[in-house]
Amino acid sequence: MNSLTLESIRDCFDGEIPAIIATCAPDGVPNGSYVSQLHYVDADHVALSFQFFNKTHANIQANPVAVVLVANPVTAARYRVKMSYLRTETAGPVFENMKAKLAGIASHTGMGGVFRLQGADIYSVAGISAIPGSVLPTPPGRSLLAAVRQFSQSIMRWNELETLLDGSLQEIETLLGVRQSMIHWLDETAERLYLVASRGYAQSGVGSEIQLGQGVIGSAARARTSIRINHATSEYTYSRAAKESVRQSQLADRLEAEIPLAGLPAPGSQLAVPIMARMQLLGTLYLETTEDSQFGYDEEDAVVAIAQHLGLAAHMLEQTGERLDELPRRSAGPPQPSGQPASIRHYRADDTIFIDDNYLIKGVAGAILWKLLRDLETNGRSEFTNRELRLDPALSLPDLSSNLEARLILLQRRLAERCPFLGIEKTGRGRFRLRVARPLKLLEIA
């Protein structure tokens, strides 16, 4: 009788304690080797990092059987896992995941310049046996299932994208004890993500961008997979990814570099999870801590489930967004503009907006702001609806209404941080008011 499953011992596959793998050449010479990374793929498969053409890699190509010794990093329970080599993957979710994780292990073990993932060797597991010996008790932990249950109940309270995003990050702190987190949304080019909500940083970083494939967030988004790093690695820090994204981008995008970044300077643990709905990528949820090894497989599962709820909730808000006939919220009348006029320049080429020579925003959010300001100037209007923005051919908004919502949140937050005399106030679901406290001088630049 053997009740051990791969899933029940997956904590052994986290690179904390090097595994030992034995293989055998076709001429009968056995080989033993230390493994820097064994990765749990699913209930029947594991993957081994392949960094160099070594004896293990050569042996399994000719004789695809292997046996591995692993140990639980908390309880010291040891297991012997028999497995068969299937194939080597050089792209895709498993590869991206291992690549990011390997960077963490490499820098943790002082091998940063040496480890570089060539491929993920995928094995199917044939049998697991426990090695007799001492086992330490498992320390009591937070109930992650209870946390996910609580989150799935909380999420029903939030009926706007803004409260959904902020509420989710707040709830993650309460339920999981993770104080630093951010949400990026995919922009209309589907090549970049922009920060739309963050929690726990001195600078909100709203509006800063990450290119797909860059850092742990960009890699998770590109490969549509969760990525978890348990040791500090300079290669995958948020600030490095954001700076790289800026370096590789067009001139207009470099203005984003003026936005102060959120992100811990040296995170010990990182977890990036794609936010999806109906197989479409909406954005990413990212958690980090200063301490090492805070996120295990179970924490990853919990955050993936939370991100799934978040994605579905965002999608449902999109579907019902403007059908509700909600009465506008009451608010004091708009203040009369007073004081020195502010000059607002709009560059038509990329919808960049400068306020008194300071960069504010670009792209869709810039185009939206310019439309609102023009409407105010020519028609005296200050009340708007999301619907009219979506239908405005001049804005050419993408289909996803969550993207418009997210852009409005971005615009609102950038204004709140950078331009106190201009503001966007929600007046109801799908409605808002433009608040202008100083006279404006609009300048259109071709």
Partner 1 sequence: MILDDDVASFLASGVSISVASRSADLLPSVARCKGCVVKRTPITRLRILLSASQAGDVLRDVETTHTISATFSLPTTHRTLQFKGTDARVVPLEADEGQAVANYVRNFTATLTGELGVPLEFVSAFLASPADEVAIEFTPTDSFLQTPGPRAGSRL
Q: Quick one: 114 or 324, whose CB is closer to partner 1?
A: 114
Q: Which is nearer to partner 1, 29 or 266 (CB)?
A: 29
| Angle of helix 93-108 versus helix 215-223 axis, rounded to 10 | 160
Nearest to 184 by CA among 280, 258, 285, 289: 285
Please, what is the minimum distance in Å from the beta carbon of residue 76 to partner 1?
Answer: 4
Kindly state the smallest distance separating residue 81's Cβ from partner 1, in Å: 10
With 0-12 CB in 10 A as exposed, 13-18 as middle and 19+ as buried, what is 265? exposed
Q: Confirm or reject binding of residue 124 to partner 1 (CB under 8 A).
A: no
Q: Closest approach of Cβ 318 to partner 1, in Å? A: 49
Query: 136 vs 324, which CB is nearer to partner 1?
Result: 136
Question: In whole angstroms, how close is the CB of 6 to partner 1 at the nearest point?
Answer: 18
- C-beta of residue 106 within 8 angstroms of C-beta of residue 233: yes
The reply to whether 203 sits near partner 1 by the rule CB under 8 A is no
Least gap, CB of 10 to partner 1 (angstroms): 18
Strands 342-347 and 440-445: parallel
* Binding residue (CB under 8 A) for partner 1 from 5, 52, 203, 445: 52
Task: Name the strands in the sheet holding 269-277, side by side, starting at the edge strand that comes first in the sequence.
Answer: 209-211, 192-199, 180-186, 280-289, 269-277, 227-229
* DSSP assignment letter at 30: E
Q: Name which of 296, 396, 414, 397 is nearest 353 in CA terms.
A: 414
| CB-based contact 350:363 (threshold 8 Å) | yes
In angstroms, rounded to a whole number, what is the distance separating the alpha carbons of residues 234 and 112? 9
- Name which of 75 and 88 has its Cβ closer to partner 1: 75
| Part of the chain binding partner 1 (CB under 8 A), chosen from 125-133, 179-187, 275-283, 294-302 | 125-133
Note whether 136 binds partner 1 by CB under 8 A. Answer: yes
Provide, rounded to whole angstroms, the least separation between the CB of residue 316 and partner 1.
46
CB 3, min distance to partner 1, A? 19
* Cβ atoms 181, 200 nearer than 8 A: yes
Question: Taking CB under 8 A as the rule, does residue 303 contact partner 1?
Answer: no
Residues within window 406-425 making contact with partner 1, judged by CB under 8 A: none
Is 198 near partner 1 (CB under 8 A)?
no
Please, what is the minimum distance in Å from the beta carbon of residue 176 to partner 1?
25
Backbone angles phi, psi at 339, to 5 degrees: 95, -165
User: Cβ distance 321 to 401 under 8 Å?
Assistant: yes
Amino acid, res. 200: G
Exactly one of 5, 8, 32, 335 binds partner 1 (CB under 8 A); that residue is 32
Give the nearer residue to partner 1 in terms of CB position, either 129 or 320.
129
Q: What is the largest CA-CA distance in the chain?
A: 89
Residue closer to partner 1 (CB basis): 16 or 256 = 16
145 binds partner 1 (CB under 8 A): no
- H/E stretch holding 31: strand 30-35
How many residues would you count in the chain? Answer: 446
Among 12, 13, 14, 33, binds partner 1 (CB under 8 A): 33
C-beta separation of 73 from 26 below 8 A: no
Residues 65-104 that bind partner 1 (CB under 8 A): 65-69, 71, 74-76, 78, 80
Report whether 229 contacts 270 (CB < 8 A). Answer: yes
CB 342 within 8 A of CB 421: yes
CB of 403 to partner 1, least distance (A): 45
Q: How many residues in the shown chain lie near partner 1 by CB under 8 A? A: 43
Q: Which residues bind partner 1 (CB under 8 A)?
A: 17-18, 20-24, 26, 28-34, 36, 51-52, 54-55, 63, 65-69, 71, 74-76, 78, 80, 109, 111, 114-115, 129, 131-136
